[in-house]
Structure 1
Amino acid sequence: YFYANSMENGEDFWVRYYNGSSWSTVASYARGTNFDNNTFYVATVTLDASNYTFPSNAQIRFQCDASGNNDQIYIDGVTVTGISSGAKAAGNSIAALDMERRVVDMDNGVDIDGFNMYPNPTIDRIALMVDVDENAQVQMVIHDVQGRVVLKKAWSGLEGVTKLDVDVSSLEKGLYFVRVNDGNGLNEVQKLIKR
């Protein structure tokens, strides 16, 4: 997950991999091409064993090529996962997240079956609490009463309960239907009233 601040068009940063003897760039992201300022993104980089070696002293680093005028990239929630031989890797991807996402501490008594949303009715924002059984691509679609899609969001869901804050201020007042689907059995619809 990353967030850029004050980067000029064309300024970039890289994900680099050290194979025990040299560094190589395995992904690069440029402002204006791959990302914009003031937006949260989630990116996945896959290193296939057929193209890379994985010694015990392997390393990963992030390197930014920006000017000295307070250009910043905030990187958080870095996950490094090994995949057993023969398993299918996800490949490289990048997606904007115009919502706040956080995993909820299960010790706080949150018990969700599918998803909950609040406040409902709402004026400008809703919070979705989504329970995902395993890591999956989760999609939220909001339909109006005529069945037209008026808002659509997707994110990489991590196993457990996740809270997502979604801006619905652009929707007209009225009744809507919110569908959340994770492709693994969660496919639920709830009514939403926008005031």
Structure 2
Amino acid sequence: WNLGDEFQNEVRYFESVVITGTFSSNTRLRFRCDASSNTDYVYIDDVEILGCAGGGLVEPGSGPMIVGQVADELERTAPPAHTGQSGLEPLTAMKLFPNPVTNELTVSFILPESMPVQLLVTDLNGRVLNQQPLNGDAGRQETRVDASRMAPGVYFVHLLSQGAKLTKKFVVVR
């Protein structure tokens, strides 16, 4: 808990926290801020929760895959990374639109060179609902995800390629 005199306005904080303990399938995290007294304009944004490293995960082959397991499997079986353009990120500038979506979500991203990409759609529990292998050419790529049969709620699109991962949130509404 931070008091009003323990931070400054107009300053960005980038924190990384590891929470140890036993977590169940219904563990909840709460982010709380009381910035109402002096117009602090505090925003909590781009929170990345990277799952549990323990008993809560499903073992490979025994049930639905969790996004981390898919990424591990892709990394294990992927061909060696291209070395023709050193220093370039394999995936950049992912955009999702429309967001919120009712029927069809468009996923746009840029590849610096031709390479295979895996597109995953997951729910908030990390269960993979849709998995599409893509053979992308260099440049801007665009693909579509059918959201018409998804229940209203929050989901994630993950793009995985050559050890890189981009994740964006989208919302399905009716």
State the TM-score, normalized to the length of structure 1: 0.40
Q: Which structure shows the bigger proportion of residues in helix conformation?
A: 2
Q: Which structure shows the bigger proportion of residues in strand conformation?
A: 1
State the TM-score, normalized to the length of structure 2: 0.45
